[in-house]
Amino acid sequence: MGFTVLIPARLASTRLPDKPLADIAGRPMVVRVAERALKSSAVRVVVAADSARIIDACAAHRVEAVLTRADHPSGSDRLAEACELLGLSGQDVVVNVQGDEPLIDPALIDAVAALLEARLGASMSTAAHPISDFGEFTNPNVVKTVLDSQGLALYFSRAPIPWWRDGFAEGSKALPEPRPLRHVGIYAYRAGFLRLFPQLGPAPMEQIEALEQLRAMWHGHRIAVHVTASAPGVGVDTPGDLERVRTLWKSDFT
């Protein structure tokens, strides 16, 4: 089964204005993300944009893009509209690659898509990797997850989970074994679920943690998790991140 990569791209950004259009080695960042996604096994890669400026930038580099409403409250809502615009059927698999991940590994895209195709009981799939730094484990900006025996998510949290009762009680700064898992923000969905998701009411735990995937779990949907050995490439949230990516791009992709 083939799959489609959708890349949500929103022009407004408080920390980095016009982020999708930020230059990386002569091309807009959203184009660089699409170029990485095109190295995966996807049958189609489409940018779901909220601005004609992004559409024009994609067209200049022969990247397919669709214009979606500017008032969507979340990236999932934008992707749901894109599924309608592209005429995707309910069982079509869609991989959401964030528009600020220009170093995304194409193999990770393939792995997340393949996992959802194999797990018919799951509505979504995502990825995680073992944490190697204690500071990441306790950092609320790093989202953690715990899995069941079938590799399905039990929970996602900004708190350090699983809570290491004895280690924390002793003041340990080491990590428990097996290593806790850091969530990686890439998702695969079936198009039918993407259309349903915006209609689901927000979950209390979603609002507390500020993690949208908890809404799906609260409504009874399962999320399969691909565990990869290594951390993903650097994402871009700030001007400092952008400079790091530009440096890495010069060293690794030119």
Residue 136 has pLDDT above 80, yes or no: yes
Strand 44-49 to 65-67 pairing: parallel
pLDDT at 123: 94
Q: Would you place residue 71 in the very low, low, confident or very high pLDDT band (cuts 50, 70, 90)?
A: confident
Lowest mean pLDDT among 12-16, 75-79, 138-142, 222-226: 12-16
Residue 32 has pLDDT above 90, yes or no: yes
Q: List, for residues 151-209, the tens digit of each pLDDT value.
A: 999 999 999 999 999 988 888 888 999 999 999 999 999 999 999 998 999 999 999 99
Q: Would you place residue 96 in the very low, low, confident or very high pLDDT band (cuts 50, 70, 90)?
A: very high
DSSP bridge pairs for 101:
none
Share of the chain above pLDDT 90, in %: 78
pLDDT at 254: 62
The CB density around residue 9, as the number of other CB atoms within 10 Å, is 29
pLDDT at 250: 85
Among 48, 52, 80, 78, CA closest to 64: 48
Q: Cα separation of 204 and 27, whole Å?
A: 41
pLDDT at 226: 97
3-state SS of the chain is CCEEEEEEECCCCCCCCCHHHCEECCEEHHHHHHHHHCCCCCCEEEEEECCHHHHHHHHHCCCCEEECCCCCCCHHHHHHHHHHHHCCCCCCEEEECCCCCCCCCHHHHHHHHHHHHHCCCCCEEEEEEECCCHHHHHCCCCCEEEECCCCEEEEEECCCCCCCHHHHHCCCCCCCCCCCEEEEEEEEEEHHHHHHHHHCCCCHHHHHHCCCHHHHHHCCCCEEEEECCCCCCCCCCCHHHHHHHHHHHHHHCC
For the chain, give the mean pLDDT: 93
Q: Would you place residue 1 in the very low, low, confident or very high pLDDT band (cuts 50, 70, 90)?
A: low
Cα–Cα–Cα angle for 217, 218, 223, nearest 5°?
5
pTM: 0.94
Q: For the chain, which domains are there?
A: 3-230 (3.90.550.10)
pLDDT at 137: 95
Q: Would you place residue 251 in the very low, low, confident or very high pLDDT band (cuts 50, 70, 90)?
A: confident
